[in-house]
Amino acid sequence: MRNFKMILQYEGTRYQGWQRQESTDNTIQGKLEALLTKMTGQKTEVQGSGRTDAGVHAMGQVANFHSDVAMDAREIMEYMNVYLPEDIAVIALEEAPERFHSRLNAKGKTYCYRVVNDSVPRVFDRKYVHVVKEQLDVEAMERAAAYLQGTHDFKAFTSNRKSKKSTIRTLDAIRIERTASVSMGMQNGEDEIRFWYSGNGFLYHMVRIITGTLLEVGRHKRNPEEIAEILAGGCREAAGELAPAKGLTLMEVRY
C-alpha cells in the first residue's frame, strides 16, 4: 500500500473544522476522504497533522493517506484540485515512506493570528482578521508573552477539561509585530498586529485562548505579570477570552 503526503491550503470559514463528523459532511477531512474514496474506488482515510477548529484557516496543513491507486502523485494532485471545492487546495503531493504519519511524526507547528487594530471595518479581510477597536499596547503584550515561552503546563489555556492527556507543551517562540495591512492594493497604515506562535504542539483552543489573554493585556485589562500566576494556577477561568477562530491560520508543520 502506497503512502501519500500532501500539503493543503484551505479557508475554514464555511467548514465545521478539520475532523470528520457523523452529523455533517461539511468538514475538511470529510471532503478529502469523500473525494479520494471516489477517485480510488476504495474507502480512504486521511490523517491530518492536527484538528483545526471550525472557522480556522490553513496555509500549510499536512496530511497523508494510504492507497494502492495506479495514478502517480502528479495525477492525484491534479485530480483533487479539479474536484475539490474552491476553498480547499492541494499545493504539494508526493509519495512518503510507508510509516510516515502526518500527526505522529510532526515535530512542531507555527500559527499566525491576525488582529486589525482599528475602528474602520475591513470588508475584504473580514474572514481572516479579528478587529479590535481599542488601541493595543504591543510592548505590554510582549512582556506578557515572555512568561509563556518555554516548557509549561498550559492547562489554563485549553478548553478541553476532560482530557487525561498531558497538558505540558513547549512554546519555542511568540512574536508580536505591528505591521501595515494591505487590502485590495490599499495600504492602511500600521494597523495590523500579528501574533506568531511556534511550538512542539498545541492544545485544544490553546492559541486562541493565549491570544485572547494577550489582547486583554494589550487593552490594559490585566497586567503582564498575571500570566505567571495563570500558568501556575492551571485554571481556565483565570485566563482570558477565547479569540474568534477567523483570525487564526496554521502556517507550517515541521518534521
CATH topology for 108-254 is Alpha-Beta Plaits (3.30.70)
pLDDT of 148 > 70? The answer is: yes
Averaged pLDDT, 97-102: 97
- Give 4-67 as a DSSP string: EEEEEEE--TTSS-SS-BTTBS-SHHHHHHHHHHHHHSS---EEESS-PPTT-EEEEEEEEEEE
At residue 16, the pLDDT reads: 97
**Which CATH number is correct for 2-96, 3.30.70.580, 3.40.50.2300, 3.90.1200.10, 3.30.750.200?**
3.30.70.580
Cβ-Cβ contacts under 8 Å for 215 (sequence gap 6 or more):
115, 132, 136, 141, 240, 241, 243
Averaged pLDDT, 129-136: 96
Q: Where are the domains of the chain?
A: 2-96, 108-254
Q: What is the pLDDT of residues 48-88, one digit of tens each?
A: 999 999 999 999 999 999 999 999 999 999 999 999 999 99
For the entire predicted model, the pTM comes to 0.94
Averaged pLDDT, 18-42: 96
**Residue at grid coordinates 475591513:** 122
Same fold, 2-96 and 108-254: yes
At residue 183, the pLDDT reads: 64
b/e map of 150-176 (b: 16 or more CB within 10 Å)? eebebbbbbeeeeeeeebebebeebeb
* Residues marked as catalytic: 53
Q: What is the pLDDT of residues 155-203, one digit of tens each?
A: 999 998 777 889 999 999 999 999 876 665 555 666 999 999 999 999 9
At residue 50, the pLDDT reads: 96
Cα–Cα distance measured from residue 46 to residue 235, given in angstroms and rounded to the nearest whole number: 35
Q: What is the pLDDT of residues 190-245, one digit of tens each?
A: 699 999 999 999 999 999 999 999 999 999 999 999 999 999 999 999 999 999 99
